[in-house]
Every structure is written in structure tokens, then in C-alpha cells.
Amino acid sequence: MFPTPIEKTPRAWQLTYQSLLPLALLMWLLPLLAVALFSVKPEADFVGGGYWSLPSYFAGFENYGRVFFDSDMPRYLMNSVLITIPTVIGCVILSSMTGFALGIYKFKSNIWIFFMFVAGNFVPFQILMVPVRDLTLDLGLYNTKTGLVLFHIAFQTGFCTLFMRNFIRALPFPLIEAARVEGVSEWRIFWYVVLPLMKPAIAAMSVLIFTFIWNDYFWAVVLTQGAESQPVTAGITSFNAQYRAAYHLMSAGSIVAALPPVAMFFLMQKHFIAGLTLGAVK
């Protein structure tokens, strides 16, 4: 293990390390803690200029209450859910298929199709912006959740295919050969042999895609407008425009907007990290 395990170091360093740890964490999360503090301070504290004083009283309930009951925030959150979940499902379906095709079969253009997905996944969004916007307008899907979902599925398929294909490549191939010898048809191999083995990959990928899509801002701005279809990342800017300079509400709103992926991360930590670090270890 590197660095040297702390148990084997001098007592003095052990103590320093133990006290350094919380301090470092505090420093690291300082900007966020500041916002959390803002979000439970009453408005009067800001008017008096006491930005950094302790809250004169705990106003968390009233601030968060206003975010939930006195603004469009719940609608934006709902939109985010209705955009994120179908995207995750669509990506899982499409990419388990493409991943299967590219991971199991050997044909001439395999590597080129794979590279097309990988390369497409890296392109800057901006080069797609105008054509995708026009396409969405032409399809009559501008400012709909569907329009946003379709694009997200298509774009994320690049990353997901990379992910799935690499995972499938690492599966024991003799399993599939054995199935073929038994005369199992190809789609049954996919459904009964490969798919069950892909469960951990699907879980990891779903959590990742959830986070990516939830946090998307660019496409939300390009393809949607207004509270009926915009997700919370775009909604928070209108929310802030409405409550400009009301720092207690803007802070509470930001925390609400940021919370779902954070919750997702803490609940599904193992899958999340497994997904992110796929390939970081050989």
C-alpha cells in the first residue's frame, strides 16, 4: 500500500493526520457550507449586512418552504425527473444492444463503428447545437421533454456503448460459445445469457447517466424554454431572476436543485464509483 499505512508511522504524524483530515474536508467543502448556511438564514440577516454571522434564528423551514410551495421549483424538479428517467431507460436499451453487437461479434467494420461512437461522444456540443435545434424544431419537438430526451438518448449512446462494449468484452466468451453449440438463437443468447451478466454494468451506467442528464444545462437552454418543459438546472436561473439578491432563497433553491444527484450518489455509491472508474484499473 502506498503511501505508508498510517498505523506504521510515528505517533506524532498519526495524530497530525487525524486532525488534518476533518480540517482539510472543511476547507474543501467551504463554499458549499457557506451556501448551506445562507439557506437557513432569515432575510433580515442579509438586509442588515450580516452575511457571515450565525443565523439570528433558524429559518430553514420558511426558506425551503417558499422554494417548494411558492415557486415553480417543484415543476422544474418534476421535469428533470421526466427527462432523466426516460433517458436512462432509453440509453440502457440502446447501448446494451450496441454493446452486445460490438462486444460479441467479429466483423470487419466493428472497430470503426465502435470508434464512431467513442469519437462522437467526445465532440464539443456546440458543433451539434444549430443542426440539432433545427432538427428538433422541424420534428415539432422544440420545447418538449420528448425532444430533449431523444437527443440525450442519442448522444449518451456514444458513451454507453463504449461502457457496455468494454464490459461485455470482459465476460467469459466460452459461455456464449457453449450456448451456440446448444443451438440457442442469438437474440436468446443476448436475453438469457448476456443480459443477466450485465446487471452490474447497467446499474453503474444508469447512475452515471442519471447524474449527467440531471446536471445538463446546455441542451436544456438550447432545446426548451419555460416552466412546462425545462429541467431544474435551467429553472434555477429563472428562479434566481425572480428572487434576485434574495440570497437565502437562491441558496435554498440551489441546494434543492443539487440534491437528487447527491442523494443518488450516496445511495448508489458503489455502482457510481464502479462506473466512473471503469478502465482506471487494468
Partner 1 sequence: MSTTAMPITEIAPQRSWYKRNEIAVTPWLFLAPGVLFFLFYVIFPIFQSFNLSLYRWDGLGEAQFVGLANYQELSTDRAFETSLWNNLKWLILYLLAIPAGLFIALFLNQTVTGIRLYKSLFFFPFVISQIVVGLVFTWFYDPTFGLLNVMLGWVGLGPINVLGDPTLVTYGIIAAGLWPQTAYCMILYLTGLNAVDPEQIEAGRLDGAKGWKMLWYIIIPQLKPATFIAFVVTIIGALRSFDLISIMTNGGPFGSSRVLSFYMFEKALSEYGFRMGYGAAIAVVLFLIMLFFIAYFLWSMFQEERAR
Partner 2 sequence: MRSMLKASIAALATTAVMAGAALAGSHGAKLSGDLVIFSDMSNPAPRAVMEGMVERFGEMHPDLNIELTVIDREAYKTQIRNFLSANPPDVANWYAANRMKPYVNAGLFDDISDMWTGKIGEELASTKGAMTIDGKQWGVPYTYYQWGVYYRKDIYDELGLSEPATFDEMKANCQAIIDSGRKCYTLGSRNYWTTGGWFDYLNMRTNGYDFHAALTGGEIPWTDDRVRATFANWRELIDMGAFVDNHQSYSWQESLPFIVNGDAAEILLGNFAVAPLRDGGLDDSKLDFYQFPAINPDVELAEDAPTDTFHIPSGAKNKEAARAFLEFVVSADNQTLINNGSNLGQLPVNANSGVDDDKFLKEGFAMLSSNSPGGVAQFFDRDAPAEMAAVAMEGFQEFMVFPDNLDDILGRLEQARGRIY
Residues that bind partner 2 in the complex, under the rule CB under 8 A: 133, 137, 140, 142-143, 225-226, 228, 237-238, 241-242, 244-245
Grid cell listed for 156: 449518451
Grid cell listed for 265: 450518489
Per rule CB under 8 A, is residue 236 in the interface with partner 1?
yes
Q: Of the two residues 80 and 161, which places its CB atom closer to partner 2 in the complex?
A: 80
- What's the rounded Cα separation, in Å, for the pair 189 and 120? 29
Per rule CB under 8 A, is residue 269 in the interface with partner 1?
yes
Site for partner 1 in 19-58 (CB under 8 A): 21, 24-25, 28-32, 34-35, 38, 49, 51-52
Interaction partner, residue 244 (partner 2, partner 1, none; CB < 5-8 Å by kind): partner 2
95: phi then psi, degrees, rounded to nearest 5: -80, -20
Per rule CB under 8 A, is residue 132 in the interface with partner 1?
yes
Residues in the chain: 282
Q: Of the two residues 75 and 133, which places its CB atom closer to partner 2 in the complex?
A: 133
Residue type, 167: F
Q: How far is the CB of 69 from partner 1 (least distance, A)?
A: 21
CA atoms lying within 13 Å on the CB side of residue 28: 6
Site for partner 1 in 237-256 (CB under 8 A): 237, 240, 247, 250, 254-255
Site for partner 1 in 172-231 (CB under 8 A): 173, 177, 180-181, 185-187, 190, 211, 214-215, 217-218, 221-222
Q: Of the two residues 66 and 271, which places its CB atom closer to partner 2 in the complex?
A: 66
Q: Of the two residues 135 and 193, which places its CB atom closer to partner 1 in the complex?
A: 135
* Helix ranges, 105-231 (H): 110-122, 126-138, 145-169, 173-181, 186-188, 195-197, 199-214, 218-223
Grid cell listed for 270: 458503489
- What's the rounded Cα separation, in Å, for the pair 40 and 249? 9
Residue type, 110: N
**Helix 247-267 / helix 269-276 crossing angle, nearest 10 deg:** 80
Q: Of the two residues 53 and 237, which places its CB atom closer to partner 2 in the complex?
A: 237
Residue type, 74: P
Q: How far is the CB of 243 from partner 2 (least distance, A)?
A: 10
CA end-to-end span of the chain: 17
Q: Of the two residues 54 and 262, which places its CB atom closer to partner 1 in the complex?
A: 262
Q: How far is the CB of 208 from partner 1 (least distance, A)?
A: 10
Per rule CB under 8 A, is residue 104 in the interface with partner 1?
yes
